[in-house]
Amino acid sequence: KEISSEEAKKELRILTVERIENAALDIHRKYRRGIPEVVFGEGKEANDIVKIVKTLVERNGYAMVTRLNNYSKIVSQLKGLQLDYNKKAKTLLVKKKNHVFPKNGKIGIIAAGTVDIPAAEEARVAAEVMGCDVFKAYDVGISALHRVFEPLKRMMEKNVSSIVVVAGMEGALPSVVSGLVDVPVIGVPTSSGYGIGEKGIGALTTMLQTCSPGLAVVNIDNGFGAGVFAGLIARRDKHG
């Protein structure tokens, strides 16, 4: 059966976008990007989050919510689904009980200080959703630089495809790590710190000014973006 170009556009639009009241969900994003649309929870009402999550779970087998501040208001509305709430990262993973993530390689995640763990955990959850095995090391900042050598050695022995390095304050650790390894390093500046470089500005500036090639930098506190970036590298590294 032949159809016009306008009819074809309508059919494709139906296949790729699903509207739920004020939300337009990108249903086929997982085929283009390797990860479905993720729900940014901050500022959204609980009922809206629940509707979006249920639709994404129905279509993809799971849904991920970031920056979720109202978990207690939505948990009772997601009965029958498997919930994994990460209090530090403020992420929620909602899955059908039989859903399994495909394996897509290995990455490392390093956090300079304990205050940087929330962004590191956000990166970990995102990478695991993309099928990565994650090897992590927390509280290994440059104030005692020898702490980072053992976990770095372990990560390289595991043949990780990239390493996410999360740091606040002066944000020097990603440049240091980048100078020690032969895989891409993804720097995540965090909003910890005070004074002239407060709210992550100092850390971001340091990472952007690095003299160590092979370091990419995401926005302040953007652990999710770093985890996805690392997941894409790992998937390409494994599958070509």
Looking at 23-27, 174-178, 224-228, which range is the least confident one?
23-27
Cα separation, 154 vs 141, in Å, equals: 17
DSSP code for 84 = E
Statement to judge: residues 62 and 133 lie in one domain: no
Residue 115 or 80, more confident: 115
Q: Which of 60, 95, 130 is the last residue of a domain?
A: 95
Statement to judge: residues 117 and 231 lie in one domain: yes
Please tell me the predicted confidence (pLDDT) of residue 66.
95
Statement to judge: residues 130 and 205 lie in one domain: yes
Confirm whether 100 is domain-assigned.
Answer: no
Statement to judge: residues 147 and 228 lie in one domain: yes
Cα separation, 178 vs 205, in Å, equals: 16
pTM above threshold 0.85: yes
Cα separation, 237 vs 5, in Å, equals: 38
Q: How many domains does one find in the chain? A: 2
Q: Which of 74, 95, 116 is the last residue of a domain?
A: 95
- What is the average pLDDT score of the chain? 89
Confirm whether 69 is domain-assigned.
Answer: yes
Cα separation, 13 vs 65, in Å, equals: 24
Statement to judge: residues 66 and 144 lie in one domain: no
Residue 9 pLDDT level (bands cut at 50, 70, 90): low
Q: Dump pLDDT digits (tens) for 45-84.
A: 898 899 889 888 888 888 999 999 888 888 888 888 989 9
Statement to judge: residues 91 and 124 lie in one domain: no
Statement to judge: residues 118 and 212 lie in one domain: yes
Question: What average pLDDT does the segment 18-38 reach?
Answer: 70
Statement to judge: residues 12 and 110 lie in one domain: no
Cα separation, 157 vs 174, in Å, equals: 19
Q: Which of 42, 73, 95 is the last residue of a domain?
A: 95
Looking up residue 200, the CATH number of its domain turns out to be 3.40.50.1970
Statement to judge: residues 223 and 135 lie in one domain: yes
Please tell me the predicted confidence (pLDDT) of residue 18.
66
Looking at 15-29, 55-69, 106-120, 209-223, which range is the least confident one?
15-29
Confirm whether 101 is domain-assigned.
Answer: no
Residue 235's domain spans which residues? 106-239
Statement to judge: residues 54 and 170 lie in one domain: no
Residue 11 pLDDT level (bands cut at 50, 70, 90): low
Percent of the chain scoring above 90 in pLDDT = 60
Statement to judge: residues 50 and 166 lie in one domain: no
Q: Dump pLDDT digits (tens) for 130-183.
A: 999 999 999 999 999 899 999 999 999 999 999 999 999 999 999 999 999 999
Statement to judge: residues 126 and 227 lie in one domain: yes
